[in-house]
Amino acid sequence: MSMVSDSLVIARRNLIRMTRIPEMVLFGVIQPVMFVVLFTYVFGGSMSVGGSTDPDVYKNFLMAGIFAQTVTFATAGSAAGIADDMQKGLVDRFRSLPMARGAVLTGRTVADLVQTCITLTVLAIVALIVGWRTGSAEPTDAGRVLGAFGLLLLLGYAFTWIGALIGLSVRTPEAATSGGIIWLFPVTFISNAFVDASQMTPWLRHIAEWNPFSATVQACRELFGNPGVVDSGAWPMQHPVWASLIWSVLIVAVFRTLAVRKYRAADG
């Protein structure tokens, strides 16, 4: 209970800081909105999904990938924020207090999750405006749609722990920003987020199908009732919801352990 209480205090501190620097939220929203507009209207007519080049089909295929990309790109903000706190000596002040050591990192990731939730809400509204609809390929319901957003937030939370580890491993916020985002490009683009993975070369398709990011994207398409390519023998593509849950929980378990250990080592 002490760990939970301390984590909530740190989370509150970061949320208050967020309200005092509103451009943090504003810029975090603008980027995914630009991706929605660019991919929908620039690439929509030239992409093939299941043999169809209908822009509306691609639009509904695309949105799950944009949502997933948005929650994972929050990793860079987590890494930069923790590195900034380390550089300014704020974390050293926390260490002098009688508080759980992991609370600093947990509070930071919870605050980032709240910001991600806000961004995802705005992005969903924009997606509806440009024509995205749930149930476009098969029937769905509100429970399944909320489940899809839950999987997205879980993936985003898992990736913020990777960002926390990066932020503790570098010396400056600038390095944390670069290190927090550079590895996300192959993770998000070697996936089924923006293109039909069956069109990739066999070895690249295999990587894409076992990518944790792809599992969440495929799960969201299934729960949203949007078009998605399912003619794959890979287990994550046949059982995407379970695969998404397993991958996200595994990432949290591994990277939270590594991040807290790194924090304690720095403390020593």
pLDDT score of 161 more than 60: yes
Quick check: 242 pLDDT over 90? Answer: yes
**Which is it for the CA torsion 147, 249, 115, 98, positive or negative?**
positive
Q: Which domain holds residue 22?
A: 2-267
| pLDDT tens digits along 83-119 | 888 887 777 777 777 777 778 888 889 988 998 998 8
Given this model, what pLDDT does residue 173 score? Answer: 84
- CA dihedral (171, 159, 133, 237) positive or negative: positive
Tokens of 209: 């199908």
pTM across the whole model: 0.90
What's the domain count of the chain?
1
CA distances (Å), origin 24, targets 21, 88, 94? 6, 19, 23
Closest among 76, 250, 222 to 163, alpha carbons compared: 76
pLDDT at position 1 is 67
3-state SS of the chain is: CHHHHHHHHHHHHHHHHHHHCCHHHHHHHHHHHHHHHHHHHHHCCCCCECCECCHHHHHHHHHHHHHHHHHHHHHHHHHHHHHHHHHHCHHHHHHCCCCCCCHHHHHHHHHHHHHHHHHHHHHHHHHHHHCCCCCCCCCCCHHHHHHHHHHHHHHHHHHHHHHHHHHHHCCCHHHHHHHHHCCHHHHHHCCCCCCCHHHCCHHHHHHHHCCHHHHHHHHHHHHHCCCCCCCCCCHHHHCHHHHHHHHHHHHHHHHHHHHHHHHHHHHC
Separation in Å, CA 109 to CA 7, 34, 42: 9, 25, 34
Q: What is the mean pLDDT of residues 15-31?
A: 78
Of residues 76 and 258, the one with the higher pLDDT is 258
Q: pLDDT confidence of 53, banded at 50, 70, 90?
A: low
Sign of the CA dihedral with 58 first, then 51, 225, and 192 last: negative
Which residues lie closer than 8 Å to 143 by C-beta, 6 or more apart? none
| Nearest alpha-carbon partner for 180 in 77, 34, 32 | 77
